[in-house]
Structure 1
Amino acid sequence: MTTDNNTTVFVSGATGFIALHIVNDLLKAGYKVIGSGRSQEKNNSLLKKFNNNPRLSMEIVEDIAAPNAFDEVFKKHGKEIKIVLHTASPFHFQTTNFERDLLTPAVNGTKSILEAIKKYAAETVEKVVVTSSTAALVDPTDMGNANLVITEKSWNKDTWESCQANAVAAYCGSKKFAERTAWDFLKENQGNVKFTLSTINPGYVFGPQMFADSLKISVNTSSGIISGLICSKVGDKFYNNCGPFIDVRDVSKAHLVAIEKPECAGQRLVLSEGLFCSQGVVDILNEEFPQLNGKIAIGEPRSGPSFLEKNSCKFDNSKTKNLLGFKFYNFKDCIIDTAVQMLEVQIKN
């Protein structure tokens, strides 16, 4: 991938699991990157990780849910930013105030970044990519419907009220409403902005961290499933999480293809390389890592495929795969690469 080297990309939430890979891929492809992080400390840490690359700079956006959260960034850099990748959104389940902690920040963050573009960069920004989720396509109840096939046209059917049943439903709802906000904004502001919009809708995102030392601080919610199983004990029972999966390296690559391939404009790109369940992860850990075999949970070996057949909806993202035109990491390689890094960090600690 080559660029004219004058193209500036703004990445919101640049310190996140997916975003760090995106920043790395953008820099390798010759883009100039402006990222946002929540504090000077986080921003300095990121800049240091990228060896203070002169093509990378950082701005502080303390709270994406605050009104006009991105105004200062676009006031300052709006005339140079051509591409916006909006990756910042809350992803955790540690709350009972779903509206305050999940729904409102996700929607407001999307709204405020698009409003800032309209105010300060309407003539400059040409492409916007919003990092959404398969959670915007299907609600948690339908996730378990084995007769359902989800495609790029599917939408989570929960309402603002019904998605507040629990934290998982609220997170899924937050992705739906944030994505809807983006598409609605574009429709309503057709004459006021010139950018095209694409969304990236990944399933559970596994794969190695961009920088292994990130694991010492915290682990993203999806990768937490793998670290939990690595730390399990023989005989432990575990919850058999299941759903579509994708490798973080493919999620990052998809963001770059989305900005470079004109056919991706106006599309929802659903990232899944098939279904996974925790049992499948445990099987790989026990088979591929002699140091874990006999020390961690076993569950019911090789029962994963039949479990998924009965307990998960299906995904047909053939349209996305054709548009993107590259092969995704398979499940085994993705899990092995994730676990190798986790075990190295564990051993070093």
Structure 2
Amino acid sequence: MPENNNPLVLVTGGSGFIAVHIILNLLAKKYRVRTTLRTLDRQDEVRAMLRSGGISDVSSLSFIQADLTSDTNWKNATAGADYVIHVASPTPNRIYKDEDEMIRPAVEGVLRVLRAARDAGAKRFVLTSAFGAIGVGHRHHVGPYTEADWSNTDANIHPYQKSKTLAERAAWRFVQQEGKGLELATVNPVGVMGPILGQDYSHSNDIVRQMLEGKLKAVPKIYSDYVDARDVAELHVLAMTRPEAKGERFIASTAENLSTLQVANILRKHLGDDAKNVPKKEVANTIVRAAAIFNPKLRMIATLLGQDLSTSNEKAKRLLGWRPRSAEEAIVATGRSMIKVMKGHMK
């Protein structure tokens, strides 16, 4: 059994792609972990994902039911926690009738967890924010973006990106005005790739799935930065423990700006016949924008066309000694694990 004096970390949204990688990292470092689930029916699924990630001993892990839209159980969830890592957030994969359906749970949810963490006496709160809170809504920006930048919520940006921006701003405001000593750090990942451990994975990975399945005959002309989920997890733990991280934002990125076609080329280079359906050409921006009028799933992509989305990772490297894997390694890891998921080899 784990020693009772090992620090306890609350990780919200424990079934999510990034959250599972964070839990893996924490358990490997001998932390005690408590994680929230909207429904406890997913406990076995989370344990299975952890086994896929190489952790067989989950005796230091416990589950508690809690939802961002309700006060129920957050006091119990944060009780005794030394640290809180807040990962849970509405997903961009769902289609919402109104942007408030995405924005309100994100903002109210982060404030709900912050209050509970403060009242429980947690030392530091690490918020999983996003590049969407840094680098969207600036049509004429010339990169790379840094942690000093904020997305323009007055521009035509996707509700998911607006929700991440407003939630992070609300978190900083809360800690400044009502935190009573609670420390805050944020991690702002770009497109998250890396090993998929089950049926739950990031929206960035979904593009790889569509490529491998042959659902995309051509790819949009978007240039994005990427990062491996394992490195995102490591950056969260550094942001949680390092004194230098107090009050700081950190972009999680390899700082390699790749077109979606370059991502496709990497998949074909490494995956052989499994990548036979991966597209080899790009689609014109005008076609994507026209299709987005009728297809809500394309609307976030349409707002990113023609944008400079490059980022700097110098701050995380300089302050915390963070050293991420290459974008190519992250993309290949996504592709190989996605193939296992698609073939039904990962239950």
TM-score band w.r.t. shorter chain: 0.7 to 0.9
2-structure distance, mates of 1:116, 1:81: 10
Mapping 1:230-245, distance limit 5 Å: 230-232=212-214, 236-245=217-226
Corresponding residue number in structure 1 for 2:175 = 186
Q: TM-score, normalising length from structure 1?
A: 0.83
Q: Answer whether contact 1:90 1:105 (CA < 8 A) is retained.
A: yes
The Cα offsets for residues 44-82 of structure 1, whole Å up to 9 and x where unpaired, read as 432465557221100001x3123x25xx2424652x211
Structure 2 counterparts to residues 79-98 of structure 1, below 5 A: 80-98=80-98
Tell me the equivalent position of 1:267.
248
Give me the whole-angstrom Cα distance separating, in 1, the residues matched to 2:47 and 2:276.
42
Distance 1:244 1:281 in 2: 11
Distance (Å, rounded) in 1 between the aligned partners of 2:82 and 2:145? 33
- Structure 1's 288 and 324: CA in aligned 2 closer, same or farther, altered over 3 A? same
Partner residue, 2:14: 14
Give the equivalent residue in structure 2 for 1:303: none
CA distance in 2, matches of 1:332, 1:114: 36
CA contact (8 A) 1:84 1:127 kept: yes
Deviation at 1:314, TM superposition (A): 3.1
Task: State the match for 1:137 in structure 2.
Answer: 134
Q: Specify whether residues 4 and 254 from structure 1 end up closer, same or farther in structure 2 by C-alpha distance, changes over 3 A only.
A: farther
- Following superposition, the deviation at residue 109 of structure 1 comes to 0.6
> Residue by residue, what CA displacement relative to the aligned partner does 1:244-294 show, whole Å, maximum 9, x if unpaired?
211111100001111221101111011111222210111112222221465
In the TM superposition, residue 189 of structure 1 has moved relative to its aligned partner by 1.6
1:158 aligned to which of 149, 153, 162:
153
Are the counterparts in 2 of residues 5 and 30 from structure 1 also a CA contact under 8 Å? no
Instruction: State TM-score, norm by structure 2.
Output: 0.83
1:171 is the counterpart of 2:160:
yes
Q: Deviations over 1:192-242 (max 9, x none)?
A: x32211000000101112x2xx13xx5421100111111127x92222343
Say if 1:152 and 1:268, in contact at 8 Å, map to a contact too: yes
Q: 2:320 aligns with which of 287, 311, 324?
A: 324
The residue that corresponds to 1:305 in the other structure is none
Runs of 4+ in 1 over 6 A off after TM superposition: none
Cα distance in 2 for residues equivalent to 1:101 and 1:241: 27
Structure 2 counterparts to residues 253-292 of structure 1, below 5 A: 253-273=234-254, 274-292=256-274
Task: In structure 2, give the amino acid aligned to 1:88.
Answer: A
Contact 1:59–1:73, Cα closer than 8 Å, also in 2: no
Q: Where does residue 54 of structure 1 map in the other structure?
A: 59
What does residue 227 of structure 1 align with? 209
Please give the alpha-carbon distance, in whole angstroms, between the structure 1 residues aligned to 2:100 and 2:93. Answer: 13
Contact 1:93 1:171 in 2 (8 A): no
For the residues of structure 1 that align with 2:18 and 2:205, how far apart are their CA atoms?
12
Give the one of 170, 190, 199 matched to 1:203: 190
Cα distance between partner residues in 1 of 2:12 and 2:86: 5
Unaligned runs of 5+ in 2: 51-55, 283-303
The answer as to whether partners of 1:145 and 1:313 remain within 8 angstroms in 2 is no
Q: Describe the SS at the equivalent of 2:142.
A: coil
Contact 2:145 2:310 in 1 (8 A): yes
1:226 & 1:46 partners in 2: Cα distance? 22
- Shifted more, 26-35 versus 44-53: the winner is 44-53
The 3 A distance-change label for structure 1 pair 295 and 12 is closer
Q: Which residue type is aligned with residue 335 of structure 1?
A: I
Give the whole-Å Cα distance in 1 for the aligned partners of 2:142 and 2:48.
Answer: 49
SS in 2 for 1:323: helix
The residue identity in structure 2 corresponding to 1:202 is P
**Amino acid across the alignment from 1:186:** V
Would you say how many aligned residue pairs link Structure 1 and Structure 2?
A: 316
**Secondary structure of the residue that 1:316 maps to in structure 2?**
coil
State the identity as a percent. Answer: 27
Distance 1:88 1:329 in 2: 24
Whole-angstrom CA distance in 2 between matches of 1:49 and 1:206: 16
Structure 1 counterpart of 2:163, one-letter code? S
Q: CA 1:343–1:45 in structure 2 vs 1: closer, same or farther (change >3 Å)?
A: closer
Shift of 1:42: 1.1
Tell me, yes or no, if the aligned pair for 1:87 and 1:131 is still in contact at 8 Å: yes
- Structure 1 counterpart of 2:285: none
Question: Which residue is equivalent to 1:64?
Answer: 68
Q: Does 1:127 align with 2:124?
A: yes
